[in-house]
A and B are shown apart, each in its own frame.
Chain A
Amino acid sequence: MGLFILRRIGVMLLTAICLTFIVFFLTNLYPNLEKLAKTQGTQRMSDAEVTSWLAKRGYLQPLPVKYGQWLGVLPGYVNTDDTGAVINGRCIDPRKPDETPRKFCGILQGDWGFSTVFKEDAGVIISRRLALTGKLMFWVMVLMVPSALLLGVLAGMREGSRLDRFLSTVSIATTATPEYVSGVILIAIFASSAFGLKWFKGTATSAMEDANFNNFFLPVLTIALYGMGYIARMTRASMTEVMTAQYIRTARLKGVSFRNIVLKHALRNALIAPFTVIMLQFPWLLNGVVIVETLFNYKGFGWTLVQAAGNNDIELLLAASVVAVFVVLVTQLISDIGYVLLNPRIRIS
């Protein structure tokens, strides 16, 4: 078991390094850098000026070196003038001239870079935005997981019944409705003046400080709906499989009531598979978060990602990608380990 976890973590770290390198490569392509130079300097820079602007900021070093510096395993670049005095460098903060500069400053040292759009430390922005998204995700989970499990168990306990048909169709319908469709429909029905039902607010901007049912329910519901159908279908499949097992038949022949069979015998075994599915939903939820935060103008992590990508904010985009990749990989790891721990047949062998 220990060896298994160690191997999984090793593969995860390798994946993380590969993925961040790909993102680093794609964001540091020359056209992106040129655009960065022109937006930070002036639009009318000549090619030579662009090159010198980039060289001064260390962007023209070879890619692996730049990556190593960004990661914090290679010492940051330092530019000196003819006399040997230091002008600038990766680890030299012009706002704090008295500090002795560190040798390494990458994300491993907690140095996430500086956002050119928000004029702030990328790490600070990301942690603040992540807290907002965490709030959103928490309520999504509170709404999504119990209702999805309930849907799945109710549909799966009597396979082929009318209830099963109805609930299965409902869950297919929710998986067929991406967030940008359900969000638009929900806003149009519940928040627009055209239908006159102004029950909820169409934006969640005010929910960032003060979330209440009125301004937060629609975004939460929009994300939850899309994921719910899939989890419900997996739960249903697992439940129908358990309900045909020998021990359920034995319990029924003993005369245990249907209610007790479902609650005491079937449920526990039927919930192993959905656990993995719920954990693997995180990457999808991340997509949903980006779409919903854009649609409802909720300035969380997803919104930041879109802003960074749309405005060519390289450092912030890199920081956001690291977090996104990390979330995905960690949930995969937890789902793998959790599956082994929950399933006695695998755990004991």
Chain B
Amino acid sequence: MEPLSWGGIIIRMAVQFSPVWIALVVVFGLSITYKRRLGLYGKLFDSVIGMIGFALVMFWVFTGIFAAFDMIIQHDPLSQVSGMKNKLPGTPLPDGSGYYLLGGDNLARDVFSRMVAGSWIVIQIAPLATLFAFMVGITLGLPAGYFGGRLDTVLSFTSNLVLAFPVILLFYLLVTPEIVETGIPSYMAVVLFVFPLIFIAVLLNSRFHTQTAKRNLYVGGALLVGLVLYLSLINEQGSVISFLPAWLDLFDVPGNLLVVFVSVVFVNSPTVFRIVRGLVLDIRTRDYVAAAQTRGEGPWYIMLWEILPNARGPLIVDFCLRIGYTTILLGTLGFFGLGLESESPDWGSTINDGRKLLSIYPHPALPPALALMSLVLGLNLLADGLREESLRD
């Protein structure tokens, strides 16, 4: 078979991505049709910038999800085909069964399939890690801003401590095999992952504490589900924390993935804490907070049901930005070969693999680099669009 021309490569890639195009058209069609009924999400479709950002983000979200079902990937991202080492884009396979659309890397793996498979890793980790960082930041930032005083001093000092740490140094100190051996990341996971649990329990309790029966049902149910998830998350057979019997341990997060997750959450949460604290300091002086205090509402009710909903605008915008930042951090980890396995197809590791031969064969490093850039750019544009639309009314 003849090698493909650039036109042929682009057409074949577009065909390969066809499930993503269909999904995008459906989402955009539905959203634009019903945009007046969809609140802030619907208003996003009034701004061009926001729509472009949303399209970029959803492109990678759908790519990641479909890649998890083996739909867009052409070849196994880990398998090596002899004779395809460093081959240029559009080279056919030796047995004639297909093409390496974006060429082969230095281990003769398909660059295109690795890029697509890498999106699934990012789509899994980045939003979830950001969500956890937000839970930690909100749970600590609300009381720090609302009560102030010594609690605020201590928490602010601690968050400044983490913020003053150069991120890469922190990664090198936390994500090495020797430190993982001591179990410090696992203990950090125990502390950090308990915050979502506290957050949800306090949220429900403060709302329903006057209706005891309902409260017991909701808080009890949430705690039960949360506790089982929490325990199976932190518990891993064979690591420092393994006390659960195997039948109760629902799923195992591979040790190195957990470490990556923990360090990303740890780096992100102080910034969220600072933002939440600043917002609370501002909102605390509003009249509706004074009204709630006069009604005799408890402090946690005021924080979680009066202040937090009114701080949602800036928090949603920051959430989008922070997913982008988390993606960059994950890439940084991969770039330094920390955490994830060296053959993992995530974008940072692939860039790291490709950079060694960059001046001769740039094609293995460019696709993941452009993919990462477009996703982060999409998130930034989305945040910009959301900010503009939420300021409009």
B366 touching A188, Cβ below 8 Å: yes
Residues of chain A contacted by B174 (CB below 8 angstroms): 26
Min C-beta distance of B200 to chain A, whole Å: 30
Could you tell me if A328 and B164 are in contact, using CB atoms closer than 8 angstroms? yes
Q: Is B161 touching A19 in the complex (CB atoms < 8 A)? A: yes
In the assembled complex, B90 has its CB within 8 A of some CB on chain A: no
Q: Which residues of chain A have C-beta atoms less than 8 A from B15's C-beta?
A: none
Q: How far is the CA of A185 from the CA of B380 in the complex (A)?
A: 20
Binds A, one of B1-9, B131-139, B309-317, B352-360: B352-360
- Given known A-B contacts A27-B173, A185-B370, A193 and B384 have beta carbons under 8 A apart: no
Given contacts A172-B380, A177-B373, contact A321 B169 (CB under 8 A): yes
Do the beta carbons of A180 and B377 come within 8 Å of each other? no
Q: Does A178 contact B (CB under 8 A)?
A: yes
CB contacts (< 8 Å) of B181 on chain A: these are 31
Question: Contacting A180 at CB < 8 Å: which of B169, B332, B376?
Answer: B332
Contacting pair A325 B332 (CB below 8 A):
no
- Size of the B side of the interface (Cβ < 8 Å), in residues, is 48
List, in ascending order, chain A residues with CB within 8 A of B358's CB.
184, 187-188, 191-192, 202
Question: With a CB–CB cut-off of 8 A, which chain B residues contact A4?
Answer: none
Q: Is the CB of B179 within 8 A of A180?
A: no
Flag whether B381 is at the interface (Cβ < 8 A): yes
B369 and A185 form a contact (CB under 8 A): yes
Q: How far is the CA of A18 from the CA of B160 in the complex (A)?
A: 11
A294 close to B (CB within 8 Å): yes
A167 at the interface (CB under 8 A from B): no
A195 touches B182 (CB 8 A): no
Measured between C-beta atoms, what is the minimum distance from B115 to chain A in Å?
Answer: 13
Say whether A328 contacts B166, CB under 8 Å: yes
A55 sits at the interface (CB 8 A): no
Partner of B351, one of A27, A180, A305, A309: A180
Are A325 and B165 in contact (CB-based, < 8 A)? Answer: yes
Query: A188-B365, A192-B358 known; A15 and B167 CB under 8 Å?
Result: no
Q: Indicate which residue in A180, A191, A325 contacts B331 across the interface (CB closer than 8 Å).
A: A180
Residues of B within 8 A of A305 (CB): 168-169, 172
| Chain A: CB-nearest residue to B329 | A178
B144 at the A interface (CB under 8 A): no
Residues of B within 8 A of A202 (CB): 358-359
Q: Which of B220-276 contact A (CB under 8 A)?
A: none
For A87, list chain B residues within 8 Å (CB).
Answer: none
A283 and B362 within 8 A (CB): no
Q: Decide if B277 is an interface residue (CB 8 Å cutoff).
A: no
Choose from A29, A172, A184, A283 the contact partner of B377 (Cβ within 8 Å): A172
Q: Which residue of B lies closest to A26 (CB)?
A: B173
- Chain A interface size band reads 35 or more
Contact indicator B373/A176 (Cβ below 8 Å)? yes
* Chain A window 179-217, contacts with chain B (Cβ cutoff 8 Å), 1 for yes, 0 for no: 011101101100111110000001000000000000000
Which residues of the partner chain A approach B160 to less than 8 Å between Cβ atoms?
Answer: 15
Known contacts A19-B165, A188-B365; A178 and B331 CB within 8 A of each other: yes
Are B376 and A176 neighbours in the complex by a CB distance under 8 Å? yes
Residues on B with beta carbons closer than 8 Å to the beta carbon of A277 = none
User: Given A176-B373, A305-B169, A291 and B359 touching (CB < 8 A)?
Assistant: no
Whether B348 lies near A180 (C-beta < 8 A) is: yes
User: B-facing mask of A22-66, CB < 8 A → 1, else 0?
Assistant: 110011011110010000000000000000000000000000000
Q: Which 8 A-B pairs have the closest CB atoms?
A: A188-B362, A309-B172, A31-B178, A176-B377, A176-B376, A202-B359, A181-B369, A26-B173
Excluding A11-B157, A29-B178, A180-B369, 11 further A-B contacts by CB distance (< 8 Å) are A169-B381, A175-B380, A178-B372, A185-B366, A188-B366, A193-B360, A194-B362, A195-B362, A283-B166, A309-B176, A332-B164
Supply 29 A–B pairs (Cβ within 8 Å), ascending by A: A15-B157, A15-B161, A29-B182, A31-B182, A172-B377, A176-B373, A177-B376, A178-B372, A180-B331, A181-B373, A184-B354, A185-B370, A188-B358, A188-B365, A188-B366, A191-B358, A191-B359, A193-B360, A195-B362, A287-B168, A291-B168, A291-B335, A294-B336, A305-B168, A309-B169, A309-B173, A312-B178, A321-B169, A324-B169
Interface residues of B (CB under 8 A from A): 49, 157, 160-161, 163-169, 172-174, 176, 178-179, 181-182, 184, 324, 328, 331-332, 335-336, 348, 351, 354-355, 358-363, 365-366, 369-370, 372-373, 376-377, 379-381, 384
